[in-house]
Amino acid sequence: MCEEIFNQVALTLIPQIGDVVAKELLAHFGNAADIFSAKRRTLERIPGVGEYRANAIKNFCDHHTVEKEIVFMEQHHVAPIFYTAASYPERLRHCYDSPVMLYNKGAATLQASKMLGIVGTRQPTAYGIQLCEQFIDAFKDEDITIVSGLAYGIDITAHRAALRAGLPTIGVLAHGLHTLYPAAHHYTAQQMQQQGGLLTDFPSSAPLNKQNFPRRNRIVAGICDAILVIESGVKGGSLITADIAASYNRDVMAIPGRIGDPGSAGCLELIKQNKASLVTSPQDVLETLNWRPLAPQPVQQSLFYQLDSDEQVILKLLAEHKALHLDEILHRSALSRPRVSEKLMQLEMMAKLRPLPGNTYELINT
């Protein structure tokens, strides 16, 4: 690789020089080589640099680690993307804390016209997994690149659903490309390199630790047009990603889920606080983003949830009787009160029935 690549990698390996200061230096000097060749006093006058950081630049001598990183990139077909390069993702470039260097492995373009980040809990319900798969399958003709973090749960579900749908998918990692966490996703990561890619701002020399994940989340938010949250508790990386996306003026959307379900509490909180748009269908996502709407789906209501036997019993009773009191539903269905209450709530959210005054319910004719 050329000398400029060497200087670019070296700049990112100076501990005292973060992304914001590095971009100040680049704005002044134009390239990494001129930063290293500048006089100490010139460096000190750059905003945010000062004597301490100027000394760190002038005293940098870890050339072995730089050379090792370059050899790793060459041997493993990793493409370095520096902040000043034309190939640097334009959406991310405009984020104030965007990384100076990205490491990209795979076939995906980071400048695709439609990029959607999908995030969520690492312990999704079967309902959340089904939603994730169905939404992405509905996007298969929309030329959307699906971005996530290759973690357990919604992340890996999104990547695998995108692969099945023939959509490009990018996994943003919280570590260098010398390893993969979790290792269980190794096969999927290999597939993604043929139909997408792996992206990180960590060099292969960086250790994996929990402080890396917020940095990973900012890239997910920054390279996308919008973030869709599918199931999230009240704490966790998904909400961090949503907050970062909002700070970048990205659209944030959330699927509401069921009231009282811990796995949906985070989504409901985002919606309640007006931090996310409520979406209940793939078409809602496309319309929110002004992307081409889907053709009407003849089975739109079944997109969310396949009715189980208890729900079918309740709907059949309501179809036979114009309206029924809760006690009558309990008596005729022979189901327990908690079970009926749960199913009534679910069916109401699916717009299958509506509650009436006096603990009575009626079927919604569609």
In a domain, 172, yes or no: yes
In a domain, 81, yes or no: no
The rounded mean pLDDT for the chain is 90
pLDDT tops 90 at residue 12: yes
Which of the residue ranges 119-128, 289-298, 341-350 has the most confident prediction, judged by mean pLDDT?
Answer: 119-128
In a domain, 103, yes or no: no
* Residue 205 confidence (pLDDT): 82
In a domain, 264, yes or no: yes
In a domain, 107, yes or no: no
pLDDT tops 50 at residue 302: no
In a domain, 345, yes or no: yes
Reported as half-sphere exposure (CB side, CA atoms, 13 A), residue 129 has a value of 10
End of a domain among 263, 279, 300?
A: 300
Q: Are 246 and 182 contained in the same domain? A: yes
Q: Are 145 and 271 contained in the same domain? A: yes
Where does the chain have alpha helices with state H?
3-12, 19-29, 32-37, 40-44, 50-58, 63-75, 90-93, 126-138, 154-165, 186-194, 212-223, 237-247, 265-272, 282-288, 309-320, 326-333, 337-349
Q: Are 311 and 296 contained in the same domain? A: no
Mean pLDDT value of segment 128-154:
95
Q: What 3-state DSSP class applies to 145?
A: strand
Mean pLDDT value of segment 212-235:
94
Residue 341: band (very low, low, confident or very high) from pLDDT cuts 50, 70, 90 = confident
- The answer to which of 61-75, 166-180, 216-230, 309-323 has the lowest mean pLDDT is 309-323
| Phi, psi at 90, each rounded to 5° | -65, -40
| Phi, psi at 229, each rounded to 5° | -100, 120
Residue 301: band (very low, low, confident or very high) from pLDDT cuts 50, 70, 90 = very low
Q: Are 262 and 135 contained in the same domain? A: yes
Cα–Cα distance, 94 to 30 (Å, whole number): 17
Query: 182 preceded by cis ω (within 30°)?
Result: yes
Q: What is the CATH number of the domain that holds 203?
A: 3.40.50.450
Q: What are the residues facing 362 on neighbouring strands?
A: 323, 354
Cα–Cα distance, 117 to 95 (Å, whole number): 16
Q: Are 151 and 130 in contact (CB under 8 A)?
A: no
Q: Are 183 and 201 contained in the same domain? A: yes
Q: Are 296 and 311 contained in the same domain? A: no
More confident position, 365 or 87: 87
Q: Are 131 and 256 contained in the same domain? A: yes
* Residue 271 confidence (pLDDT): 94
In a domain, 247, yes or no: yes
Cα–Cα distance, 330 to 69 (Å, whole number): 67
The residues, any chain, with a CB within 8 Å of residue 84's CB and separated by 6 or more, are 26, 30, 31
Residue 148: its H or E element: strand 145-148
Q: Are 288 and 313 contained in the same domain? A: no
Over pLDDT 70: what percentage of the chain?
A: 96
Tokens of 306: 């396949």
pLDDT tops 50 at residue 304: no
Q: How many domains does the chain have?
A: 3
**What secondary structure letter does DSSP report for 301?**
G
Question: Domain limits at 341?
Answer: 307-363
Q: Which of 350, 349, 348, 351 is nearest to 360 (CA)?
A: 348
Q: What is the CATH number of the domain that holds 55?
A: 1.10.150
Q: Are 152 and 241 contained in the same domain? A: yes
Mean pLDDT value of segment 293-307:
49
Cα–Cα distance, 204 to 97 (Å, whole number): 21
Place of tokens 């006093």: 41
Q: Is the pTM of this model over 0.85?
A: no
Q: Are 70 and 126 contained in the same domain? A: no
In a domain, 102, yes or no: no
End of a domain among 300, 324, 346?
A: 300
Query: pLDDT of 153-194, one tens digit each?
Result: 999 999 999 999 999 999 999 999 999 999 999 999 999 999
Q: Are 258 and 286 contained in the same domain? A: yes
- CA distances, 52 to each of 18, 269, 353 (Å): 13, 43, 67
Q: Are 177 and 311 contained in the same domain? A: no
* Residue 1 confidence (pLDDT): 52
* Residue 55 confidence (pLDDT): 93
Q: What 3-state DSSP class applies to 16?
A: coil
Q: Are 62 and 56 in contact (CB under 8 A)?
A: no
